[in-house]
């Protein structure tokens, strides 16, 4: 397993540990789009998601200021 995969899995695991539906949505979005070697945090990368057909698109984590 590469460092990239290890870091990504650790981030997903940390999100799921929080419990609840919000944590699972965050984790799924992170699993789908997050790349620790790309610019921005997992949340920023998810905010920039352009997959309009994704069933989670409307509930993906975004900042208030977007």
Determine, yes or no, domain membership for 12.
Answer: yes
DSSP class of residue 57 equals G
Q: What is the pLDDT of residue 66?
A: 53
Residues of the chain with pLDDT under 70: 65-66
Q: Look up the pTM and report it.
A: 0.85
Token reading at 36: 């620790």
Range of the domain at 16: 3-59
Q: What is the pLDDT of residue 32?
A: 95
In the chain, the percentage of residues whose pLDDT exceeds 90 is 85
CA nearest neighbour of 49 among 24, 23, 31, 37? 31
Determine, yes or no, domain membership for 66.
Answer: no
Which three-class secondary structure state does DSSP give residue 60? coil
Work out how many domains the chain is built from and give that number: 1
Determine, yes or no, domain membership for 65.
Answer: no
């Amino acid at each position: 397993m590469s460092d990239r995969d290890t870091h990504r899995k650790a981030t997903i695991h940390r999100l799921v540990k929080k419990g609840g539906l919000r944590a699972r949505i965050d984790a799924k979005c992170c699993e789908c789009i997050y790349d620790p070697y790309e610019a921005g945090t997992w949340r920023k990368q998810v905010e920039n998601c352009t997959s309009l057909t994704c069933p989670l698109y409307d509930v993906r984590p975004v900042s208030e200021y977007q």
